[in-house]
Amino acid sequence: MTQNPMNKFLNKVKPSFYFAHIILALAYIICIAFLYFKPTQYDDYHFRLTYGEDVPAQAQLYYDTGKSYSEEQCIVRTAENKMVDFPLNDAIRKHAIAFRIDPWQGTVPNLSLHSLSVVLRGKEIKTYTGQALKDLINITNDISGAEVIEDNVVLTITNIDPYFTIKDDFIWDIPNHVEEYNIYISRQYMLYASCLALFGCLLLCIFKRQVIAIFKKIDGLLKRKFGVEKISRIKSYWCAPTQKLSLIRVLLYLVSVALFLSTAAFYTLGHFLMDYFSGLSMQEIVFHLKVPMTGTATNMVAQYFEAAKVPLIVSGIVLIIIVSMLALMKSIRNCRFASTVALLLSVYLLILSTSDIALELKVPEYLANQMKTSSFIEKNFVSPLEASITFPENKRNLIYIYLESMESTFISKQDGGCMPQDIIPELTLLAKDNVNFSESNLVGGGTSSSGSAWTAGAMVAMTSGLPLLLPISENTYGEYSKFMPGAISLGEILKKNGYAQEIMVGSDLSFGGRRNYFTQHGEYQVYDIFTARQKGDLPDDYYVWWGYEDEKLFSYAKEELTRLAKGNEPFNFTMLTADTHHVNGYLCGLCQSEHESQYANVLSCSSRQVASFITWLKAQNFYDNTTIILCGDHPSMDAKYIDSAYDGSKPRKVYNCFINATGDGTTSKNREFHTFDLFPTTLAAMGCEISGDRLGLGTNLFSEKKTLAETYGYEKIEEELSKRSRFYEKEILDE
């Protein structure tokens, strides 16, 4: 009987050669585990100040460790090649709570600064330049102004030896930048370890005789020492095929196949999310795992398969080959070693495929924060039930338009954005001509906090003053669940004051639990794709993008507003656009080819449609008594466009514009605020008086009262909101 070729090979291979590979595999697994769970830590960072022009300068860095600034706590360095490095010892890095920089000693009318960087092991791991640098600088009396010119911050000097202090945001950001760099280094070491392991296997194959000779000596030594042939036992038990396939090995192979399929799914889905979803967070993922996913755009599923088709096909072919070998080759199928290796390899591949996405989404940090609690929300929450809200005698109508993914980032740099050319000029003009709350003197916007960086979370934050934070242990928030029963929203306040309310979307309102929120908090009348079909506005089988396009949305909105205006009650009409949703947006018949990017063309088209709709509103007889709010829901998640168009010159902000607001907007510029501040601000824009000017976590931006961002800083608030709040879970999420 002819012996199977694989069986021949197994019989020829020496036991010591098996032992060598087992030792190598164990060493490799230990090395990878050590690098993954105990990454090399570098924290010897320092600061680097880079000038915008080549001028001889001696700069000083003062640091405050709790005793204020002094000459004893100062580092003096001379600039070389436009750069000056400030070395920091361990004591400064651990104990300094504030920094001040004296960038120049002498008299000079203007001083150009290019960047401020955190440098670790010679690499600039984080650099602030342009508007981002300007936002970090606290101007003193010796500097009369700071202006961004060609990505440089030009300081106007009024006195000898000027100085400026650095805002706390810079200090709080450093640990995150250092951690990201350490993770990057660990990944590099893991890659090097993988290459070394493969190279070691190659060397073993090339020099197998020498290796076998070495392990024979080890085998002999073990035999003399212990009287047992250890290596021979390994071969006889693990490598020799048995007579039949046991149930245990069948299960091992089935589990290996399942894990291999999971690897392909996690790898392709993970990289699709990282490549196409900018700003994705674990908070959003946890939320969407608990709410209805009906109504998701069909093109998004198609885009996933388009992006993942190559790795899915390759992994499928590999799996077919492996299963075929197991089915046809008894010597492999019945081998204990083969079944064990298959399981270990599939587990390793699964861990490897999920590690990148886990680190990108900061899963370990998220899980760690789920074990911590914070009293921040409880201490800063103002219940609308306890605050006095007084409406004007002549109640104003409200039209609230959520603009999907609309950022002030898309505005030109000269007007406050990040683009060389204004992508949304009509929206920019509306913001200039009306009230726009901004982080600067130009057009700007607000920041999305944790729990409000996706549509459902954003709408909740702007109408209740609270982020949408579901703990990982929270039960499902499905279609029949009560949605944040402890929250008091804008809809409930307006309903109590006699408003007729309607929400219009061009999709299925149930997606993300939005139907529950708006019907349970204000009893909104709903107009979505199903309503349009039922009314005969659309054919029963009509479906594009997320439902129907914005061109139809604005047309239907005109009809509904005309109907609401004929009623005897003041009205609150809320609507949400969708064409500018990622990925790439939806090109409708009104879009033009004015930009290279499809997404930019969709953004420009949306800007024109909104402006046209506002023009129509101005011609209506209800316009004078109506407050109109235009607001992006959250920063865009279109990663491809953001990576190519966004230059990082300033933080990304959510667009806002208040038209026909009762406030004068004198407090609208140079504000630090979150989108949840728009809750009390909306009521103030309608002429309501709010005792204390605060509701939820939000602050009325028409007042001079400090927002939480202005009081605590963005970093501190994010840190606290990432932890669990017993107050929030009991008073807001529970009944």
Same domain as 87, residue 167: yes
Least Cα distance to 409 among 397, 400, 418, 401 occurs for 418
Q: Could you tell me if 652 and 631 are in contact, meaning their C-beta atoms sit under 8 angstroms apart? A: no
Whether residue 192 lies inside any domain: the answer is no
Mean pLDDT, residues 178-192? 69
Question: What's the angle, vertex CA 443, arms to CA 441 and CA 449, rounded to 5?
Answer: 100
State how far the Cα of 446 lies from the Cα of 77, in Å rounded to an integer.
Answer: 38
- What is the C-alpha to C-alpha distance for residues 352 and 714, in angstroms, rounded to an integer? 33
- 411-460: pLDDT as tens digits: 999 999 999 899 999 999 999 999 999 999 999 999 999 888 888 899 99
Decide if 605 is inside a domain.
yes
The verdict on 485 and 595 lying in the same domain is yes
**What confidence tens digit (pLDDT) does each residue in 472-488 have?**
554 445 444 678 889 99
- The answer to whether position 247 is within a domain reads no
Coil, helix or strand at residue 723: coil
Give the end of a domain, one of 130, 160, 179: 179
Is residue 275 domain-resident? no
- Domain shared by 26 and 92, yes or no: no
Instruction: For residues 13 and 125, state if they share a domain.
Output: no
Structural domain ending residue among the three candidates 240, 258, 289 = 240
Q: Which two tokens stand for residue 68?
A: 């204020």
Higher pLDDT, 228 or 128: 128
SS3 state of residue 632:
strand
Query: Do 20 and 121 lie in a common domain?
Result: no
List the single range of 171-175, 267-271, 276-280 with lowest mean pLDDT.
276-280
CA-based nearest residue to 692, from 436, 395, 386:
386
- Picking from 140, 162, 179, the residue at the C-terminal end of a domain is 179
Quick one: 26 and 134 in the same domain? Answer: no
Is 629 a residue whose pLDDT tops 90?
yes
> What are the two backbone dihedrals, phi and then psi, of residue 186, each rounded to the nearest 5 degrees?
-60, -40
258: Cβ contacts below 8 Å, ≥ 6 apart: none
Does 485 lie in the same domain as 452?
yes
Is 622 part of a structural domain of the chain? yes
Q: Is the pLDDT of residue 242 over 60?
A: no
For residue 127, pLDDT beyond 80: yes
Q: What is the domain extent for residue 551?
A: 376-733
Burial of 109 (C-beta count, 10 Å sphere; 0-12/13-18/19+): exposed
Spatial separation of the C-alpha atoms in residues 704 and 692, rounded to whole Å? 11
Report whether pLDDT(163) > 80.
yes
**Any domain includes 56:** yes
Same domain, residue pair 549 and 629: yes
Greatest alpha-carbon span in the chain: 103
Provide the 3-class DSSP secondary structure of residue 128.
Answer: strand
- How many folded domains does the chain comprise? 3
Alpha carbon distance 138, 235 (integer Å) = 71
Which whole-number Å values give the CA distances from 662 to 138, 181, 222, 290, 659, in the listed order? 32, 48, 90, 40, 9
Question: Looking at the predicted structure, is the pLDDT value of residue 720 above 70?
Answer: yes
Q: Is the predicted pLDDT of residue 175 greater than 80, yes or no? A: no
- Contact, 127 vs 86, CB < 8 A? no
Q: Write down the pLDDT at residue 333.
A: 60
691: in domain: yes
Query: Is residue 583 reached through a cis peptide bond, with omega within 30 degrees of 0 on the bond before it?
Result: yes
Please tell me whether residues 162 and 230 are part of one structural domain.
no
3-state SS, one letter per residue, for 479-547: CCCCCCCCCCCHHHHHHHCCCEEEEEECCCCCHHHHHHHHHHCCCCEEECHHHHHHCCCCCCCCCECCE
Average the pLDDT over each of 342-346, 397-401, 466-470, 729-733 and give the range with the smallest value. Answer: 342-346
Tell me what pLDDT residue 479 has.
46
Give CA angle at 408 (402, 410), nearest 5°.
105
What is the C-alpha separation between 57 and 489, in angstroms, rounded?
A: 56
pLDDT digits (tens, 9 = 90+) for 302-347: 666 666 666 667 766 766 766 666 666 665 566 666 666 667 767 7
Report the pLDDT value the prediction gives residue 17, as an integer from 0 to 100.
44
CATH number of the CATH domain containing 417: 3.40.720.10
Q: What is the pLDDT of residues 666-719, one digit of tens each?
A: 999 999 999 999 999 999 999 999 999 999 999 999 999 999 999 999 889 988
Task: Note the pTM of the prediction, 2 decimals.
Answer: 0.65
**Which residue did the predictor score with more confidence, 28 or 508?**
508
Instruction: Tell me whether residue 265 is in a domain.
Output: no
Burial class of 540 by CB neighbour count within 10 A (0 to 12, 13 to 18, 19+): exposed
Phi, psi of 659 (to 5 degrees): -110, 135
Same domain, 417 and 492: yes
Range of lowest pLDDT (361-365, 437-441, 578-582): 361-365
Sheet containing 571-576, strands listed edge to edge, beginning at the edge strand earlier in sequence: 445-446, 654-659, 626-632, 397-403, 571-576, 500-505, 525-527
Say if residue 458 is in the same domain as residue 557.
Answer: yes
Q: Are 33 and 50 in a shared domain?
A: no
Pairing of strands 137-139, 164-166: antiparallel
pLDDT at 8 over 70: no
- Report pLDDT for 301: 62
Q: What average pLDDT does the segment 85-105 reach? A: 82
Q: If pLDDT is split at 50, 70 and 90, which confidence band does 9 have?
A: very low
